[in-house]
Amino acid sequence: GAGVSQSPSNKVTEKGKDVELRCDPISGHTALYWYRQSLGQGLEFLIYFQGNSAPDKSGLPSDRFSAERTGGSVSTLTIQRTQQEDSAVYLCASGDGGPQDTQYFGPGTRLTVL
Amino acid sequence: SQQGEEDPQALSIQEGENATMNCSYKTSINNLQWYRQNSGRGLVHLILIRSNEREKHSGRLRVTLDTSKKSSSLLITASRAADTASYFCATGRNYQLIWGAGTKLIIKP
């Protein structure tokens, strides 16, 4: 079946602009995760959605970052007033949730802030 | 913050040789997972080992877990050019995965 999809694949923006990144999880997966990966680094957890529960936003680096998940499916990560340090690959993953969850990743969105 | 630390940071071996990568972590875990990332296929789950397991196999992959030492190893046997990628360990606690910085593996033909 279809995997996790993300759009756009690449986004170049100017400092100070807002950007929206989209994630379509695998159908039926209740858990959705956003991560950020800087060049040559591991993944940095940003936010976690599980079903209808309140999201875990503990990884969001600043109040310029927000995310929502509509109808328990598609999610949008919004970065307001982008800064150059926001440049990274933003990865979305989905899974069944729970302590032994395997996460299935999308191809990522490469964000470049000029 | 990163919990897992992979060792070595980079590894270059001849095709056909075995590759061993290690991962250390700091806190208690539910499970430890290994993922592979390359430009062609993105980030792909390889294997999950639960905290009450000590060894697990999947094809040419063998993973060990020593919770007393808070460490894990990933062995890839009979390496192939297609194994060239970055390998990450991620420790699972509740629903979160905390990631190391990865080992970059290069398989020379």
8 Å CB contact of B45 and A45:
no
Is pLDDT above 60 for B1?
no
Mean pLDDT of the B5-17 span? 92
Is pLDDT above 60 for B2?
no
Q: What is the pLDDT of residue B21?
A: 96
Confidence of residue B22 (pLDDT cuts 50, 70, 90): very high
Phi-psi sector, B3: left (phi>0), alpha (psi -120 to 50), beta: alpha
Q: Under 8 Å CB-to-CB from B39, ≥6 apart: which residues?
A: none
Q: What is the 3-state secondary structure (H, E, C) of chain B?
A: CCCCEEECCEEEEECCCCEEEEEECCCCCCEEEEEEEECCCEEEEEEEEECCCCEEEECCEEEEEECCCCEEEEEECCCCHHHCEEEEEEEEECCEEEECCCEEEEEEC
Size of chain A in residues = 114
Q: What is the pLDDT of residue B6?
A: 84
8 Å CB contact of A106 and B45:
no
Q: What is the pLDDT of residue B19?
A: 97
**Tens-digit pLDDT profile for residues B30-88:** 899 999 998 767 899 999 999 999 999 999 999 999 999 999 999 999 999 999 999 99
The residues that bridge with A69 in the sheet, in sequence order, are A75
- In which residue ranges of chain A is pLDDT below 70? 1, 99
Is pLDDT above 90 for B93?
no
Confidence of residue B4 (pLDDT cuts 50, 70, 90): low
Residues in B closer than 8 angstroms to A91, CB to CB, are 43
Residues in B closer than 8 angstroms to A56, CB to CB, are 95-96
Note whether A96 contacts B: Cβ–Cβ < 8 A: no
